[in-house]
């Protein structure tokens, strides 16, 4: 991981130092090609979605460059603080194409090239746009994983350059899926990464994605370009003139983690249910268990509220995970360490039971989908809360 970050930093520095060598007034020849480069998924979590970039090749000018919008801007001294707040700055970097291909070769990721069917004038418009935006003063942008990323940038550039001459085809959309459902196809739901993302992000991800919104994923950018057309001389032609397979590796499958969240949560939930049963039969209460449950769910609740109200993450608001990750639990966890509890605690757990009972309804009507790995935990929480309100009512 560290090596990858060092490599990316070197590429950014190379891009800055070499920018002056290619003038923004330089024109591509008629032999030039503008291509969309799509890479298959990698091993790291941020690589699971694949990658999209733009290649500019001109044998007459001896150019063969890649324009990569997926470079993290580590030059920002407040990067991690800004990232947490939702101000995720990425950069457009331009560097020799062979370096990108070499990196994919090393990681054994397939790479496909789609040569765009553009006029010489349109090629130069794309090239000049990229050159201007690759300048150090313009290169940074605020990244959004679902609405402004490495895949949406090429989409937007093509739309900007072709305008009304672009005939976008959406026949690649076979089912009405939400942004979350599309995401969960790329990252196996039984992984800790998927669980964390699904807990952190709210119901904005659960609306049905428009065909254009599908294009936050490189695979769908590839399919959309394959099917779309461009108008030339009042006739429609294929937007892609040629498709090349540059690296033909087998696509990496999305697999569950070896120690997967579902089995860990299931095991802990069974233990919790067993302890609750023993508490019920012996007419006692395991205070340490109640403290842990409420403290942990309270911490998650505070994090959800922080992301919702105090950050710029576009998909963090309206997060119904607060129904189980209930922020007040953090305070109540310390109250439950006492032996003599106030009467209002009983009402509190009746309320938490009502909140939990809303989760299946919200899930079924698809207001928000929850991670299925949490189902054993929801059952355990329901049983424990029922036990607490029953016990504390005596």
Distance of CA 363 to the CA centre of its chain: 21
Distance of CA 308 to the CA centre of its chain: 17
Helix, strand, coil share (%) of the chain residues, nearest 5: 50, 15, 30
CB 304 within 8 A of CB 319: yes
Non-local CB neighbours of 153 within 8 Å, separated by 6+ positions: 52, 69, 92
Total Cβ atoms within 10 A of residue 340: 4
Q: What is the pLDDT of residue 184?
A: 94
pLDDT, tens digit only, all 394 positions of the chain: 444 545 555 555 555 555 545 555 689 999 999 999 999 999 988 899 999 999 999 999 999 999 999 988 766 666 667 766 777 889 999 999 999 999 999 999 999 999 999 999 999 999 999 999 999 999 999 999 999 999 999 999 999 999 999 999 999 999 999 999 999 999 999 999 999 999 999 999 999 999 999 999 999 999 999 999 999 988 999 999 999 999 999 999 989 999 999 999 999 999 999 999 999 999 999 999 999 999 999 999 999 999 999 999 899 999 999 999 999 999 999 999 998 888 899 999 999 999 999 999 999 999 999 999 999 999 999 999 999 998 876 6
Distance between CA atoms of residues 303 and 309, nearest Å:
10
Q: What is the pLDDT of residue 24?
A: 52
> Phi, psi (5° rounding) for residue 152?
-75, -25
Distance between CA atoms of residues 190 and 259, nearest Å:
10
Q: What is the pLDDT of residue 283?
A: 92
Cα distances from 23 to residues 18, 127, 130, 135, in angstroms, run 10, 11, 12, 10
Supply 87's token pair.
């101000």
Distance between CA atoms of residues 203 and 316, nearest Å:
8
Q: What is the pLDDT of residue 26?
A: 83
Q: What is the pLDDT of residue 2?
A: 44
Non-local CB neighbours of 295 within 8 Å, separated by 6+ positions: 329, 330, 333
Distance between CA atoms of residues 229 and 130, nearest Å:
22
Distance between CA atoms of residues 308 and 232, nearest Å:
47
Q: Which sign, positive or negative, has the C-alpha torsion 4, 106, 194, 294?
A: negative
Measured CA angle at 32 (ends 31, 36), to 5 deg: 140
3-state secondary structure of 364: helix
Cα distances from 372 to residues 199, 251, 254, 261, 363, in angstroms, run 11, 25, 17, 10, 10
Q: What is the pLDDT of residue 44?
A: 87
Task: Kindly report the pTM of this predicted structure.
Answer: 0.88
Residue carrying structure tokens 């800790």: 192
CB 54 within 8 A of CB 35: yes
CB 387 within 8 A of CB 276: yes
């Amino acid at each position: 991981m560290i090596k990858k970050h060092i490599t990316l930093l070197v590429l950014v520095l190379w891009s800055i130092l070499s920018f002056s060598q290619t003038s923004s007034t330089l024109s591509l020849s008629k032999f030039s090609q503008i291509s969309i480069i799509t890479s298959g998924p990698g091993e790291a979590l941020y690589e699971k979605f694949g990658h999209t970039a733009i290649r500019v090749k001109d044998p007459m000018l001896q150019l063969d460059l890649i324009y990569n919008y997926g470079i993290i801007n580590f030059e920002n001294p407040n990067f991690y603080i800004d990232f947490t707040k939702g101000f995720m700055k990425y950069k457009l970097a331009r560097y020799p194409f062979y370096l990108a291909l070499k990196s994919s070769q090393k990681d054994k990721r397939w790479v496909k090239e789609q040569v765009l069917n553009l006029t010489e004038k349109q090629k130069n418009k794309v090239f000049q746009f990229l050159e201007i935006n690759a300048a150090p003063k313009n290169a940074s942008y605020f990244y959004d994983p679902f609405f402004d990323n490495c895949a949406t940038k090429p989409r937007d550039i093509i739309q900007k350059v072709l305008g009304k001459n672009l005939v976008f085809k959406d026949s690649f959309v076979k089912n009405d899926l939400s942004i979350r459902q599309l995401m969960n196809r790329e990252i196996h739901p039984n992984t800790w990464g998927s669980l964390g993302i699904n807990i952190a992000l709210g119901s904005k991800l659960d609306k049905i994605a428009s065909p254009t919104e599908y294009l936050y994923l490189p695979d769908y950018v590839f399919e959309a370009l394959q099917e779309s057309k461009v108008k030339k001389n009042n006739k429609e032609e294929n937007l892609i003139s040629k498709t090349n397979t540059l690296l033909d590796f087998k696509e990496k499958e999305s697999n569950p983690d070896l120690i997967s969240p579902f089995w860990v949560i299931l095991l802990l939930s069974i233990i919790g249910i067993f302890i609750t049963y023993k508490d019920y039969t012996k007419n006692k209460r395991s205070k340490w268990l109640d403290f842990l449950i409420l403290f942990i769910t309270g911490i998650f609740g505070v994090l959800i509220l922080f992301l919702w109200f105090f950050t710029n993450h576009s998909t963090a608001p309206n997060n119904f995970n607060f129904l189980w990750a209930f922020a007040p639990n953090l305070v109540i966890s310390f109250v439950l360490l006492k032996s003599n509890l106030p009467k209002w605690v009983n009402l509190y757990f009746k309320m938490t039971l009502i909140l939990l009972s809303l989760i299946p309804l919200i899930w079924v009507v698809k207001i928000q989908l929850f991670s299925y790995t949490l189902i054993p935990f929801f059952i355990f929480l329901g049983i424990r809360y029922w036990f607490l309100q029953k016990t504390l009512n005596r």
